[in-house]
Structure 1
Amino acid sequence: MVRPISNDLRKRAVAAVVKGESCRSVASRFGVAVSSVVKCSQRYRATGSVAPGKMGGHRKPVLEPHRAFIKERISQTPHLTLHALKDELAARGVKVSHNAVWLFLRREGLRFKKNAARPRANSLRHRA
């Protein structure tokens, strides 16, 4: 991700454009993209400020309303796979990715751990 332009550089670029210099020449003089100068100028004309807008943000988790169902399914079937859980959610009308399910479970502290008491499948190979 590209680093935001400093407010000082924004002010100098907008001041040059206001004086009548073209956006292309201002961009080459300050070593920034032409689109950055254009957007700073537009923001200045619209708001009177060159301060940047909000970057990023917080997205509400898609699976939050289905928390009870997911926890119940995991407690009922602890060996349930992420893909099977995703398919069950799709059957309920919730279209999510495998990664979205995994992130939700991780945030909730729910883990798919193998049973430590059970011997490994390939343990016979190592006994010889």
Structure 2
Amino acid sequence: MARPYSMDLRDRVVAAVETDGLSCHEAAKRYGVAPSTAIRWMQSFRRTGSVSPGQMGGHKPKRLTGAHREWLIERCKAGGFTLRGLVAELAGRGLRVDYRSVWVFVHDEIHMTSSFKKNTRRSRTGPS
């Protein structure tokens, strides 16, 4: 994973624009960064007064917890559902989630606890 540029470099680019009167493109060329990077740093500096990097990565907690989780388990046990339908039903209950979140939930919580009927003909080994 890529790392953020150092604070020293960020400060030097901002100082070159603010005190030396260089344009963002000239400062970027002087310090070997992309012009878009220098422009974003200057926008951040003018907006917040700081050029410190934001948080990278981290754990994003699951949204399908608590009462929504219990409801979804019961709804899946009742059968007759589609993933897009579950997304729409959850939105109707006040929880906006995307298709992928529901897919992961159903795969992890429901699919792994269900047992499917085995076909003995297919489960035999040997020539077909």
TM-score (ref. length: structure 1): 0.64
Match of 2:69 in 1: 67
Matched, 1:21 2:18: no
Unmatched 5+ stretches in structure 2: none
**46-55 vs 91-100, which deviates more?**
91-100
Q: How far does residue 121 in structure 1 lie from its aligned partner after superposition?
A: 5.0
1:16 offset after TM fit, Å?
0.8
Q: Which residues of 2 match residues 32-111 of structure 1 at below 5 A?
A: 32-55=33-56, 58=60, 61=63, 63-64=64-65, 66-76=68-78, 84-90=81-87, 92=89, 94=91, 97-105=98-106, 110-111=109-110
The one-letter code matched in structure 2 to 1:17 is V
Return closer, same or farther for 1:102/1:22 CA change in 2, 3 Å cut-off.
same
Dislocated runs of 4+, deviation >6 Å: none
Structure 1 portions without partners, runs of 5+ = none
| TM superposition shift of 1:120 | 4.8
- Percent identical pairs in the alignment equals 38
Alpha-carbon offset, residue 118 of structure 1:
3.6
In the alignment of these two chains, the number of paired residues is: 120
Q: Once the 2 structures are TM-superposed, how far is the Cα of residue 90 of structure 1 from its aligned partner?
A: 4.9
